[in-house]
Amino acid sequence: MSTLIRSVEVLVSSPSRNFVTLRITTEDGVVGLGDATLNGRELSVASYLEDHVAPLLIGRDARRIEDTWQFLYRSAYWRRGPVTMSAIAAVDMALWDIVARLAGMPLYQLLGGASRTGILCYAHASGSDIEALGDAIRQRQDEGFRAIRIQTAIPGMGSVYGVQKGAARGQKYAYEPAKRAGLSVEEGWDTRKYLSFLPGVFEAVRNEFGPDPMLLHDAHHRLTPIQAARLGKDLEPYDLFWLEDVTPVDNPEALRLVRQHTTTPLAIGEVLNTVWDYRTLIQEQLIDYVRASVTHTGGITHLKRIFEFAGMYQIKSGSHGPTDISPVGMAAALHLDLAIHNFGMQEYMEHQPVAGEVFRTSYTFEDGLLHPGEAPGLGVEYDDEAAARFAYEPAYLPMARLADGTVHDW
C-alpha cells in the first residue's frame, strides 16, 4: 500500500458560481477533495495552491495530516490571512477525505463519532417588503426549516445586503451576492433608516409566526459599536437565535461595549481565519457563536481547534455555510458539526441545482436537520466532464456607499 501523494490538481469550475476545488491523489489512486473557494478572489488561492503548495506535497504521506498542516502554516513564514488559510484548508480537507476513505468510514467517525442525530440548520428568507418576507418564511417552514435568517429591503434604500432586488415571491435560489456581470456593483446604505425599520420587521414576523421559529439576522458589518448595541437592545423582545456581524470584527474589543448593553446573542467571525483572531472574542466571552467557515480557517484540523477553544467558554459553533462554500466545504462542515460537542447551528444556503452536476454529494436534509451521510470520506465526488461545461467567470461582491458617496463596509 502506498499513501504517498502522487498528484495535486487545482480545479476551477463555475456551475452557477465559481468554486476552487483541490484534488489530491495517492500513489494507490485514493482521491481526496478540498474546498479553496474565496469569493471574488478565487484565482489568488488557485495560484497559491498550484504554484506554491502543490510542489511541496508530492511524495508526502497523505496520512500525516497534522504534520502537513503545521508544515504549511509555519514554513510559509508569512502567516494567516484568507488566501493562505483557504489554501491550507483545502489541503487539510483533502487529506482527511483520503484518510477516511482509507478507513472506509464517513469522516465524522474519525472525528470522534456522532454527538447528535442531525444538524440543526437555518435557511435564508428575504423579501422586498414585510409581506414578501412573510411568504418566504412560510415557504421555508413548508420545506421543514425550524430556523430562518430574515432580511428585508429598507424603505428609501436601493439594494440591500441579503435581499435580491425585485426577486419574485418564493424564489428559493434568488440571492447570490457575487455578480458575474461587470465589476463590483454599488449599493447604497443608510444606518438610521435601517435601525429605525428593522425592529418593526421582527415585530411583524413574531406577530404572524409566533414564538416558535428560531429567527436570525445578519447586520453584515455595517454598524458602529454603539449602533450595534442599540440594535441588539431593540431586538431583545423578539428573541433572536443570533444577531450576526453587528460591527466589523477588525476591532474585537468593540464587542465589549455591545455586550454591556444587550442580551441578544451575538455571532461573529466569518471573515476571520485563525484561532488567534478569535482570542479576545472567546476568552472575554464577547460572542455566543463562532461563525467561522471550514474553508477559510485552515480546514477541519484548525476549525476543530477553534470550536474546542470556544467550548471552554460555553460558546458554540455557528458554521458559515453560504453558497460560496462549495459542496465539498459544506460536507466538511457537516462532518465536524456532527462530531463536536459544542455545536450550535449550521447555515445552509442551498447551491443552485446545476452545482449538483459537478459535485455529487451524500448529505441529506430532512425535517429541519442536515446529515453528512454514510459514504466513506467527505462523501463528495467531482465530475470532471460536467465541470468542463462550466468555465470560470470573473465575479465580484458588491460595495456599499453612503448617500454622500462615502465608501461604507459591505
Between 337 and 347, whose beta carbon lies closer to ligand GCO? 347
Active site residue 220: yes
Given 48, 73, 122, 161, the catalytic residue: 161
324 belongs to the binding site for Mg ion (CB under 5 A): no
Is residue 177 a contact point for ligand GCO (CB under 6 A)? yes
Q: Does 218 bind Mg ion (CB under 5 A)?
A: yes
Contact between 39 and ligand GCO per CB under 6 A = yes
Decide if residue 248 touches ligand GCO (CB under 6 A).
Answer: no
**Which of Mg ion, ligand GCO, none interacts with 288 (beta carbon under 5 to 8 A by kind)?**
none
The residue among 123 and 380 lying less far from ligand GCO, judged by its C-beta, is 123
**Considering the complex, what minimum distance in angstroms separates the CB of residue 324 from ligand GCO?**
4
Nearer to ligand GCO among residue 219 and residue 254 (C-beta): 219
CB of 245 to Mg ion, least distance (A): 5
289-290 vs 266-268, strand pairing mode = parallel
Binding piece for Mg ion, criterion CB under 5 A, among 43-51, 143-151, 212-220, 307-315: 212-220
Q: Which does 190 bind (CB under 5 to 8 A by kind): Mg ion, ligand GCO, none?
A: none
Q: Of the two residues 30 and 345, which places its CB atom closer to ligand GCO in the complex?
A: 345
User: Least distance (Å) from ligand GCO to the CB of residue 396?
Assistant: 10
Interface with ligand GCO includes 220 (CB under 6 A)? yes
The one catalytic residue in 124, 217, 220, 296 is 220
Cβ 68 to Mg ion shortest distance, Å: 30
39 contact choice in Mg ion, ligand GCO, none (CB below 5 to 8 Å, kind-dependent)? ligand GCO
Q: Tell me how far, at minimum, the Cβ of 401 lies from ligand GCO, in Å.
A: 17
Using an 8 Å Cβ cutoff, are 403 and 187 in contact? no
Provide the sign of the torsion angle of the four alpha carbons 122, 127, 129, 135, taken in this order: negative
Q: How many residues bind ligand GCO (CB under 6 A)?
A: 9
Q: Assess 97 for contact with ligand GCO (CB under 6 A).
A: no
Note whether 35 binds ligand GCO by CB under 6 A.
no
Q: Give yes or no for residue 270 binding ligand GCO (CB under 6 A).
A: yes
Q: Which residues are catalytic?
A: 161, 220
Residues that bind ligand GCO (CB under 6 A): 39, 177, 218, 220, 270, 322, 324, 347, 397
